Chains A and B, each alone.
Chain A
Amino acid sequence: MSSALYVQLLYLVCGGLLLSAVLMLWRRQLSAIIGLLTVQGVLLAGLAALLGTRDGGVELYAVAVGVLLLKAGVLPAVLRRVLADSGAVRETQPLVNVPASLLAAALLTLLAYAVSRPLVDLDPSPTTHAVPVGMVMVLLGFFVLVTRRRALSQVAGFLLLDNGIAATAFLVTAGVPLVVELAVSMDLLLVVLVLQVLTARLQATFGVTDIDELRELRD
């Protein structure tokens, strides 16, 4: 692959990741949010495969397949099951409304670019210039996590944050060593499964999956 084509594809994928992250703030339909996470999973797998064609390593193709299975297959399937069980279709009342969220997204994007400057400076290349995209996703994931009130939205925010970290890892170092990658994916899968069980228990004990109802414990 010519380097010009590689750079174009790289920026296309990163642009897609950024767009899907911002759209997660815009959409309040929970099924749409899960759909966006699936798209992100596909894009992340594409990113890994793209880096694989640049470096010519088999390892990255294996990682790409793994990412595709986990982030575009298994995790969205788990979330869909939670959605079907809970019956909550929409994020009813986020703490911050949609226009304000999008404004916040713009500010967080600027912040991410400012913070990532030392990361780009250490090893300037077309790939590392895209690192701020990963950082934006991390910050937006954090934002979703603190402003949304449905249990499922919080899980989605956590996954967005995690996708941001994965994107950053691919962009700065073409992924971490395989041992670590495996352990991390395993942990991620288990955390989401644990959260699935806990969501069911929330539903059973509180009757709702609204996090604001959690006010049993306080000083």
Chain B
Amino acid sequence: MDALLIGLPLAAPLLAGVVAAASREPHRMTGWVTVAAAGTILTGGVWAAALTVHGDALTIGSVLRLDALSAVMLIVIGSVGVIATWASIGFVDAERASGEVRSVDLRRYTTLVPAFLAAMVLAVSANNLGVLWAAVEATTIVTAFLVGHRRSRGSVEAAWKYVIICSVGIALAYLGTILVYYAARQTSIPASGALDWNQLAAHAQELDSGVMRIAFALLVLGYGAKAGLIPLHSWLPDAHSQAPAPVSALMSGVLLPVAVYALIRYRVIAVDTLSPSLVRTLLLAMAIASLALATSLIIAQRDYKRLLAYSSIEHMGLVVIGLGIGTPLAIAASLLHILGHGLGKAVLFCGAGQVLVSERTTRIAGVRGLLARRPVLAATFGAGWLALLGLPPFSLFVSEVGLARAAAADGLVWVIAVALTLLVVIFVAVTVHLTPMILGTGTGTGTGTGTGTGTGTGTGTGTGPAAGETAAAGSTAPLVVGLLALAALGVVAWPLDQLLHSASLIGGTP
């Protein structure tokens, strides 16, 4: 039973990958198989949640283990995965129709996307921290060619930076993992279980604090690189802006949270070993620095895909603020924020991909008055942004209020003040960027940024609006579903709150 439940979400995407690799020409069928695999992950996550919600855990040996926290992450991977892979079908169709992409590259794309999902599922199902590390590194390997899919100068450059920076970052995390193993070997934990998270969490107080201090710093730096946090964040805007839209959605919506998930696991061990204030200071400093960096770059941004990338850094900063606070209340809010951000980013990146197809530019100044020409797309794109900016009824509003409450309960009022100020600045900056994109008149008079180069759009799209709209009608469906889910989560917390509560007791410390 346990083996089935843990194995199913892992096997389904692997199988989908094999199907895609085996089919000579990528057709819609393989796309739907991948969607089904993502759906299986989601179903497995919900099922596992039902079984672990009262604090139990499912295990295969000591290597794989699902508890409520893993179940939350499986639900995040599954739900974001469904939207992204669904949108991916339209993307593959468009790529094939364009005729610029070789079918070898398309087959590689359809094979690697499910493999990417499988690696992330393995990461959140792992109890052995070495296996967790290997799975996170495997995501780097799998996504390298997805980032470099287009083979343009920009995407090759992005792929190179991505692999180098993330591999180095994650190598530091491996050094940290080894030091944790070393510390564990000097305690009463049996050698065979010295990398098992449940053993380490139970015996955390026996670990040597001097070694653990170095280890935790390396782990935060390493997994922080993968989560897009300062100081090793510079790969993120390049990779997210160059990757195909569905891949960007998965990287931003799921991959970054998986790295944060590793930090949640390690934080539980570190808090019992080191002084809690040290752990809190380290995490809060990184989170707020990342948030501030994202804010400064969002203000001056001229490219809407990079705008989304910096917004990912912003939201990971918010999630890690929750980790820094560290109480169950804060962890629950962070987990809800991860889910909300994942869904919102899936909608926005896939929406941005369609804006790119229709407008042929990623410059903000090049897109004007989208609402008049592509009403459905513009409305979902705009609504997605409202969700990410934290407006009700979407769930990010609820999770941000939850974070503020958790900070206030622990007397960290300055954190609320700083974060809120930065969020208000981001709100204003994004509104200024987006209003002309969506509402402005077709000629690009907009806010007068001085760059009149984006004027050709109004006339260019007049040639084939009918074909564009019919294609959009089909492919905006996943985006609308994602937005509805996001709004539903914000209004009724009912199915999730019990699960988030149990997960926060695992990941949080009072």
Chain A residues proximal to chain B, CB less than 8 Å = 115, 117-119, 121-123, 138, 142, 145, 151, 154, 158, 161-162, 165, 168-169, 172-173, 176-177, 179-180, 183-184, 186-187, 190-191, 194-195, 197-198, 201-202, 205-206, 211, 214, 216-217, 219
Q: Report if A165-B153 is in contact (Cβ < 8 Å); known contacts: A122-B210, A176-B195.
A: no
Q: Which residues of A contact B195 (CB under 8 A)?
A: 176-177, 180
Stretch from B8-16, B235-243, B254-262 at the A interface? B235-243
Instruction: Say yes or no for B383: interface residue by CB 8 A criterion.
Output: no
Q: How far is the CB of B210 from chain A (nearest CB, A)?
A: 3
Complex: how many Å from CA A118 to CA B208? 9
Indicate if the CB atoms of B163 and A191 lie closer than 8 Å.
yes
Cβ-defined contact, B214 with A176, below 8 A: no
Question: Given A118-B210, A121-B210 in contact, is the A205-B300 Cβ separation under 8 Å?
Answer: no
Interface string of B145-189 (1 = CB under 8 A from A): 100100111101111110110011001001101110111011000
Q: Which of A191, A217, A219 contacts B157 (CB 8 A)?
A: A217
13 pairs from A and B in contact (CB 8 Å cutoff): A118-B210, A138-B175, A176-B177, A177-B194, A179-B63, A180-B128, A184-B130, A184-B134, A191-B163, A197-B145, A198-B156, A202-B160, A216-B153
Q: By CB atoms of chain B within 10 A, which of A119, A122, A142 has the most? A: A122
Asked whether A205 lies within 8 Å of B163 as measured between CB atoms, the reply is: no
Query: Once bound together, how far apart are the Cα atoms of A154 and B161, in whole Å?
Result: 11
CA distance A118 to B238 in the complex (A): 38
A205 to B148, CA, bound (A): 12
Q: Please classify how large the interface on chain B is, using the bins under 10, 10 to 19, 20 to 34, 35 or more.
A: 35 or more
Label chain A's interface by main secondary structure. helix
Contact (Cβ within 8 A) B171 A205: no
Chain B minimum-CB-distance residue to A215 = B157
Interface residues of B in 225-258 (CB under 8 A from A): 237-238, 241-242
When distances are taken between beta carbons in the complex, the residues of chain B under 8 Å from A191 are 137, 140-141, 163, 167
Residue B211 at the A interface, CB < 8 A?
Answer: yes
Contact B211 A179 (CB under 8 A): no
Known: A183-B131, A205-B151. A172 touches B178 (CB 8 A): yes
Chain B residue, CB-CB nearest to A209: B160
The minimal Cβ–Cβ distance linking A11 to chain B, given in whole angstroms, is 20
Inter-chain contacts of A194 with B (CB < 8 A): 141, 144-145, 163
Contact: B179 with A201, CB < 8 Å? no
Chain A residue at minimum C-beta to C-beta distance from B129: A180
Which residue of the partner chain B has the closest CB to A201? B156
7 residue pairs, one from A and one from B, having the closest CB atoms: A118-B210, A180-B130, A183-B134, A172-B182, A214-B157, A187-B137, A217-B238
Contacts of A162 in B (CB 8 A): 171
> A179-B131, A183-B130, A184-B134 given as contacts; is B163 within 8 A of A195 (CB)?
yes
Q: Please, which residues of chain A bring their CB within 8 A of the CB of B301?
A: 219
Q: Which chain B residues lie closer than 8 Å to A179 at the CB level?
A: 63, 128, 130-131
The residue in B140, B156, B301 that gathers the most chain A C-beta atoms within 10 A of its C-beta is B156
- Write out, one digit per residue, whether chain B residues 187-224 have a CB within 8 A of any chain A CB (1) or not (0): 00000101100000000000010110110000000000
A168–B177 CA distance with the chains assembled, in angstroms:
11
Contact A173 B141 (CB under 8 A): no
Chain A residues with Cβ below 8 Å from B214 are 115, 118-119
Interchain nearest-CB distance for A37 vs B (Å):
15
Within the complex, what minimum Cβ distance (angstroms) separates A215 from chain B? 8
